[in-house]
Structure formats: C-alpha cells, structure tokens
C-alpha cells in the first residue's frame, strides 16, 4: 500500500511517499481502508521530536514507527476473528496513536473507533477526533454546566473550535477569543460572546470567568489570573516556556485558590462515541481549513506548522 514514511526526525521534508506492506489485523483489530486523514500539531511534534522527551515513546535515535497520522475516516476492509462491533464495508472514523497517513491502517476494536455519522463526509469525519479529544480533557474536568462561564483563547484552532462547541453542549456560557477574520466563524460555532483580540484585551475589561482555557498555548496564567473568579481554573495546552506550566500546576495545587491544569487527552472510544452523538444531534461539526491529496503531505505539514490554520487540515487518500 501507499504510505507516508519518515526514517529520521526533522523538518517536513523528511516525509516521503513509499510502497509498504499492508498491515494485517490481529484478532481484536479492524483493518480500515482510509479515505481521509489529517495533519495535526501532534503529528508535527512527533516528526520533529519536540519536546525532546517524546523520543522516549517514539524512539531515541530514530522513529520506531515509520508512519505518522492519528485521525482517520474510511471503510472496514477486514476484521479480526474476535471483532463483534464492526463488519466489512462499515463506514468508520476515529483516532489512533500513529499509522493513519496511509491507504490502510489497523486499529483495535476497543480503541477510539466508531461508525461514521451518516451526515458527514469522510473528510469531515477525519477531522473530528484529535482537537476534540484534547479539548475534552479540559471540558470534562471543568464542571461546565448552566451558570458556569468559560473563556476560550485561540478559539479558531483545531482544539479551540472543538472546545467552543463542547463547552456549549455542556450548557456553559462561552466567551471565545480570536482575531477579526475568525469572529464570524467562532460565533457560528455557538459562542455566546466573541472577543476580537486585535480590538480588545480581555484581561483588562474587568470581566471574570470560572474557567479560562488557552487552547493555543499563547497566553499565560500570570496575565489571566485577575480574569479568573475565586476558585477558578486556568487550563493550558502547552508546556510553556522552560516547561513552566507543569510546575505551575503543581504549585497552584498546594498554594492559592486559583489553579493551573495541563490536561492530557485519552483518545478513548467513549469520547469518540460522545462526539458521534453530538454530531448526530447537530451539535458538533468539524472545521476544515484546507484539504490536500496524501501526496502533498509535505506542503500540508508546512502549512500546519505556520500555527495559523483555521480548525483542521485534511489529507485525502485517493487510492483508499
Ligand atoms: N496537550 C496536548 O496533548 C497537545 C497536543 C497537540 C497540540 N497541542 C498544543 O495545542 C495548541 C493548539 O493546537 P491546535 O492544533 O489547536 O492549534 P492550531 O489549530 O494550529 O491553531 C491555529 C489558530 O491559533 C490562532 N492563533 C495563532 N496565534 C495566536 C495568538 N497569538 N493568539 C491567539 N490565537 C492565535 C490562529 O487564529 P487567529 O488568527 O484567530 O489568531 C489560528 O486559527 C498548540 O500550542 C499545540 O502545541 C497540545
């Protein structure tokens, strides 16, 4: 099968298309013929080995797994003998650790895989799970419900667009922060208020929130602290300069009434099924910026690494 492979850590140019062996599903696995996948910031982090410690999981000197790609949407091509939930021909979507930048990938039945929402195209379904799983790691812990308020900074990215919709689905009052060109999009995702950061600094307008979620790793607890209500929590997606965020998370657990948290996503089947429910109910959609053919993975990756994409970047797998 055709796949995007890489044999050393480095810039997007280390990626290339190669013919590799098609994977064979184990007893509890499903083989998916992939129609669409995405390039996301986690793929980029693994490829660059940034942060350095991720080599502990991906291979110290060179990548252990040659194929990147976490999100996928496609059709079931074959199933292992113990699989009961899926059948050959089922349309599915989901998220896995790696291996989706290819025409086929195996994924455990118990992993983050579900039947594709019928109203979605493969391209849309491929772009659902990564940003939403990371956003869920925050939203599910933040006790969001009617009467609670959340401010989402970086609301136009993959995690941000997911966070706005998920926070609304939990009933919270959502204030989203983005630049002028994204105001309309973010409002269309259900935000109750949208702050254009080119026009207004939310940390200086006197308003306070139960939760502040920096979905793009560009703000700081220090600057946001006064915008948090007593007992409020600041959620961060990035380790921050000199990895200060985990340290702050530890410190604020012991001292002070305002907390910092760095949530880690679970990429669970439970989350994927929850997202499917929201999609079927018309409460969630994937925001797609651009689609590229799989063969243009290097261009797609360069674009993702500008840090300026809106929502998600999809790779269309034509042979898939
Ligand atoms: N915790 C984890 O497991 C994990 C995993 C993957 C990624 N991450 C981190 O999560 C963060 C977000 O990832 P993502 O994929 O959602 O990002 P993304 O899609 O690349 O975010 C792009 C968006 O960020 C906005 N943006 C760029 N600079 C900004 C700034 N200074 N202030 C406010 N908004 C800004 C841009 O919109 P505007 O034009 O509106 O500014 C753009 O639409 C990244 O820092 C990434 O490293 C964490």
Between CA 241 and CA 86, with CA 137 as vertex, the angle to 5 degrees is 130
Burial category of 254 from C-beta neighbours within 10 Å (exposed 0-12, middle 13-18, buried 19 and up): exposed
- What atom in ligand 1 is closest to the CA of residue 237? 1
Probe target for ligand 1 pocket from 137, 154, 197, 246, with the most ligand atoms within 8 Å of CB = 154
- Ligand 1 lining (C-beta closer than 6 Å): 40-42, 131, 134, 154, 156-160, 178-179, 182, 197, 215-218, 237-238, 265, 307-310
Please tell me the distance from the alpha carbon of residue 82 to that of residue 57, in angstroms, as a whole number.
28
Query: What does the pLDDT read at residue 123?
Result: 98
- What atom in ligand 1 is closest to the CA of residue 263? 1
Query: What does the pLDDT read at residue 242?
Result: 84
Tell how far the Cα of 148 is from the centroid of ligand 1, in angstroms.
24
Token digits for 192?
């109750």
Asked whether 191 and 111 are in contact (CB, 8 A), the reply is: no
Nearest residue (CA) to ligand 1, atom 20: 307
Q: Where are the alpha helices (DSSP H) in 20-147?
A: 41-48, 55-58, 122-126, 129-139
Probe target for ligand 1 pocket from 39, 41, 151, 178, with the most ligand atoms within 8 Å of CB = 41
Token digits for 23?
């994977």
Query: What does the pLDDT read at residue 298?
Result: 98
Query: What does the pLDDT read at residue 275?
Result: 98
Nearest residue (CA) to ligand 1, atom 34: 154
Kindly report the pTM of this predicted structure. 0.96
Asked whether 191 and 164 are in contact (CB, 8 A), the reply is: yes
- Which residue ranges of the chain lie beneath pLDDT 70? 319-320
Tell how far the Cα of 50 is from the centroid of ligand 1, in angstroms.
16
Query: What does the pLDDT read at residue 319?
Result: 63
Please tell me the distance from the alpha carbon of residue 180 to that of residue 29, in angstroms, as a whole number.
45
Probe target for ligand 1 pocket from 216, 262, 287, with the most ligand atoms within 8 Å of CB = 216
Tell how far the Cα of 215 is from the centroid of ligand 1, in angstroms.
6
Token digits for 300?
């797609």
Nearest residue (CA) to ligand 1, atom 4: 237
Asked whether 215 and 153 are in contact (CB, 8 A), the reply is: yes
């Amino acid at each position: 099968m055709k796949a995007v492979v890489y044999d050393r850590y480095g810039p997007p140019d280390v990626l290339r298309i190669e013919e590799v062996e098609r994977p064979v599903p184990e007893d509890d696995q499903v083989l998916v013929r992939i129609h669409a996948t995405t390039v996301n910031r986690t793929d980029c982090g693994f490829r660059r080995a940034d942060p350095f410690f991720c080599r502990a999981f991906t291979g110290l000197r060179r990548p252990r797994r040659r194929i990147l790609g976490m999100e996928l949407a496609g059709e079931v091509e074959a199933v292992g003998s113990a699989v009961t939930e899926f059948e050959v021909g089922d349309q599915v979507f989901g998220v896995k650790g790696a291996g989706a930048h290819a025409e086929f990938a195996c994924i455990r039945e118990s992993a983050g895989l579900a039947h594709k929402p019928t109203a979605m195209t493969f391209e849309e379904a491929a772009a659902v799970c990564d940003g939403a799983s990371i956003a869920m790691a925050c939203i599910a812990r933040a006790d969001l419900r009617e009467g609670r308020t959340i401010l989402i900074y970086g609301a136009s990215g993959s995690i941000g667009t997911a966070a706005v919709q998920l926070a609304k689905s939990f009933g919270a009052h959502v204030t989203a922060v983005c630049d002028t060109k994204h105001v309309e999009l973010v409002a269309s995702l259900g935000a109750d208020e949208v702050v254009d950061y080119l026009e207004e600094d939310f940390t200086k307008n006197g308003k306070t929130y139960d939760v502040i979620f920096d979905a793009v790793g560009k703000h700081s607890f220090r600057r946001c602290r006064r915008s948090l209500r007593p007992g409020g929590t600041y959620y961060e997606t990035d380790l921050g300069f000199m990895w200060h965020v985990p340290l702050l998370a530890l410190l604020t657990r012991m001292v002070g009434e305002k907390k910092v948290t760095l949530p880690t996503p679970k990429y669970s089947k439970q989350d994927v099924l929850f997202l499917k429910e929201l999609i079927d109910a018309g409460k969630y959609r994937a925001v797609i910026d651009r689609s590229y053919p799989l063969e243009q993975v290097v261009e797609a990756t360069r674009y993702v690494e500008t840090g300026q994409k809106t929502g998600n970047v999809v790779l269309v797998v034509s042979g898939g």
